Amino acid sequence: MYDQTPEERLDAAIRVGAVAPGLLAAAHRLSRGEPPVEPRPELGFTANYLYQLTGTEPSPDQISALSAYLVAAIDHGFNASTFTARVIASTGADLAACVTGALGALSGPLHGGAPGRALAALDEIGSIDRIDPWVRDKINSGGRIMGFGHPVYRTEDPRSAMLKEIALSFGGPRVELAVEMERQVLALLTELKPGRELHTNIEFFAAVLMEHCGIPADLFTPTFAVARLIGWTAHVLEQAEDSKIIRPSSRYVGPTPPEPIPALSERSQAG
């Protein structure tokens, strides 16, 4: 990027953000043996993504819900994937390299890989009467309950609160199960782990929302990436303005090395 003008970098960023949803939808359909769906730009960014993904024009509430999620997921400080993108950008690598590195970081279950696992937990529980024993087993065994906890928030994630309100507008058994699971997880954590503050994060209700929009679970993280891509490229453009590489320092904390063996000449003289 250091060989490009700011205008060329911006053009690349806009192009990447524009083509990502269509590429993702086409790749998904091809992986299932289905032909890609031609885009309909008049539908708009969110509606066109869902249309190319499912082949069916989405409903207004699906468009509104997914749009809210994509906006909420665009950027969130120096999270792992964003920092990865900025480190790569500081080397002068091109935009594609920055985005590729950020995608690698986002794929981890402690970052963008959580929504699919949150939905899997709801599938595993199945019904409201099974929540209590499932959660108790997870907590007592030291397991991780995906969709809960955040490295920054020690109170409720405001993005989660917004998505919860949207999910409640859908109604239905799945939403009821998710809301009751949230209530019981928080109550059981208070009972079994007093003093440990864990609340739902954006991934928990995002899973319920994306399922409602017809997005399969294996595309939850890629859909997150469609949104966060806009944030990544904004950070990359900013980082490219400073042609200085990010180079953190480190301090050795391992065992003390043994005393060096005297050289042969030193031992001869000592003899």
**What is the CB neighbour count within 10 angstroms for residue 184?**
17
Tokens matching residue 37: 């769906």
Q: Which residue has the tokens 């949150």?
A: 118
Rounded to a whole number, what is the distance in angstroms from the first to the last CA of the chain? 63
pLDDT score, position 193: 73
Are 166 and 209 in contact by the 8 Å Cβ rule? The answer is yes
Q: Which of 28, 111, 150, 235 is labelled catalytic?
A: 150
| pLDDT band at 88; cut points 50, 70, 90 | very high
Are 2 and 243 in contact by the 8 Å Cβ rule? The answer is yes
Q: Which residue has the tokens 């911006």?
A: 10
Predicted confidence (pLDDT) per residue in 90-102, tens digit: 999 999 999 999 9
- 120 pLDDT above the threshold of 90: no
Rounded Cα–Cα distance for residues 201 and 148 (Å): 6
% of the chain at pLDDT higher than 70: 91
Predicted confidence (pLDDT) per residue in 182-195, tens digit: 888 888 877 877 76
Q: Which of 5-14, 187-196, 251-260 has the lowest mean pLDDT?
A: 187-196
Average pLDDT, the chain: 88
Rounded Cα–Cα distance for residues 86 and 232 (Å): 8
Spell out the residues 6+ positions from residue 92 whose beta carbon is closer than 8 angstroms to its own: 1, 2, 3, 243
Rounded Cα–Cα distance for residues 97 and 112 (Å): 19
pLDDT score, position 189: 79
Radius of gyration of the chain (CA): 24
Q: Which of 77-81, 89-93, 229-233 has the lowest mean pLDDT?
A: 77-81
- State the average pLDDT over residues 210-235: 94
Q: Which of 111, 182, 199, 203 is labelled catalytic?
A: 203
- DSSP state string for 171-222: -SHHHHHHHHHHHHHHHHHHHHSTT----B-HHHHHHHHHHHTT--GGGHHH
Q: Which residue has the tokens 């994060």?
A: 201
pLDDT score, position 121: 86
Rounded Cα–Cα distance for residues 25 and 37 (Å): 8
Let me know if 203 is a catalytic residue: yes
pTM listed for this prediction: 0.82
Which domains are delineated in the chain? 6-111+218-240 (1.10.580.10), 114-212 (1.10.230.10)
Q: Identity (one letter) of the amino acid at 193? A: K
Spell out the residues 6+ positions from residue 133 whose beta carbon is closer than 8 angstroms to its own: none
Torsion angle of alpha carbons 216, 219, 224, 226, nearest 10°?
Answer: -120
Up-side HSE of residue 120: CA atoms within 13 Å toward CB? 12
- Phi and psi (nearest 5°) for 202? -60, -30
- 145: which strand partners? none
pLDDT score, position 270: 52
